[in-house]
Amino acid sequence: MTTIPDNTYISVDEANLHFEKGLAKMKAEDFLSAIEDLNRSIELNTRFFKAYSQRGFVKNQLQDYDGAIEDCNKALEIEPIHSWGYHVRGISKYKLYDCLSAINDLNKAIEISPGRAISYFVRAVFLDRIGKDEEVLADYNEGIRLDPSKADPFYNRGIIHCRLGNDSASLKDYDMAIKLDDTLYKAYLNRGCIKESAGNTSGAIADYNKAISINPKYINAHHRRSMLKYKLEDWKGCIAYFTKAIKIESESIYLYFFRGMSKQNMGNYKGAIKDFTIILTLNPQDYIAYSFRGKAKNSAGDAIGAEIDYKRADELRPKNVNAVKTNGS
């Protein structure tokens, strides 16, 4: 009868101890320390496949994707039906732009462990990269069925519903995402866009405002809010909103142009001229800015200045582009 030395059990127990310490450090996002514990765990038990795959997971977090694949390969060599090994390796391959191989790994992970929601969510991201909207939707549906507690999957599914033209389903998903995480500012923006397209302008403005209150530098929300005010011809309101956006993007020709147009529309020609002049400082070849500055100058009574700008616009305009209206009407 073969006797197993007592120190074998000690090594396995100590390996488990370091493994658990590594997991705790992973949860705390102390990845460098986690690596040290997982290294020690593997030194003590070279057949500890879970330690290899978890070390692979940590290496992904540290952007060592090749190292992560190597660890997962070792884990799967020891235990070929280790679903987490396939899951982690799939992420590594995706990060290395091997999307189809990554999907194959997630397929295998789900085949082995069909009850793990996160694998469906991850595969959905991979499938989205190659434009498989219906399959992406199916994965989010199944993942959410298994685990409906997280906001991001609802938010991501809302994007897919919107892409597929199902605004009502998208709106419900954004509602749920916000219910689960009321700091998810992108969900407010997307929900606001749907409300705006449905004609609910006050609801859209409220959502854009909320997104900005959570993330004051969220420029996409500033753009949407400002342009909605522009469409509503609320010149005073959109000038205020464009001004806030310009504080974030101080060299945005787009923002200066529409603020200048708003000022012109409410009769503030000097303000409009100033904004179009800023555009020309940023891009001296912008013939459209010359055209509209000329119109603003004409409206302000500077006919000579207007003609100079109109002439410069004509000189810069590409030959195959129709002229912007350059008379004072």
Q: Which helix (H) or strand (E) holds 293?
A: helix 287-299
What is the rounded CA–CA span in Å between residue 86 and residue 105? 5
Q: Where are the alpha helices (DSSP H) in 235-268?
A: 235-248, 253-265
Residue 323 is predicted with a pLDDT of 61
What is the rounded CA–CA span in Å between residue 16 and residue 174? 42
Can you list the positions of beta strands (E) in the chain? none
Residue 13 is predicted with a pLDDT of 86
Burial of 36 (0-12, 13-18, 19+ CB in 10 A): middle
Q: What number does CATH give the domain 260-329?
A: 1.25.40.10
What is the rounded CA–CA span in Å between residue 220 and residue 254? 13
Question: Per the structure block, which two tokens stand in for 201?
Answer: 């302008």
Domain ranges of the chain: 11-148, 260-329
Q: Which helix (H) or strand (E) holds 144?
A: helix 133-146
Residue 325 is predicted with a pLDDT of 52
Residue 328 is predicted with a pLDDT of 41
Q: What is the mean pLDDT of each run of 10 residues along the chain (329 residues)?
A: 45 88 94 94 94 96 97 97 97 97 98 98 97 96 98 98 96 98 98 97 98 97 97 96 96 97 96 98 96 96 96 89 52
CATH class belonging to 11-148: mainly alpha
* String of DSSP letters for 1-70: -PPPPHHHHHHHHHHHHHHHHHHHHHHTT-HHHHHHHHHHHHHH-TT-HHHHHHHHHHHHHTT-HHHHHH
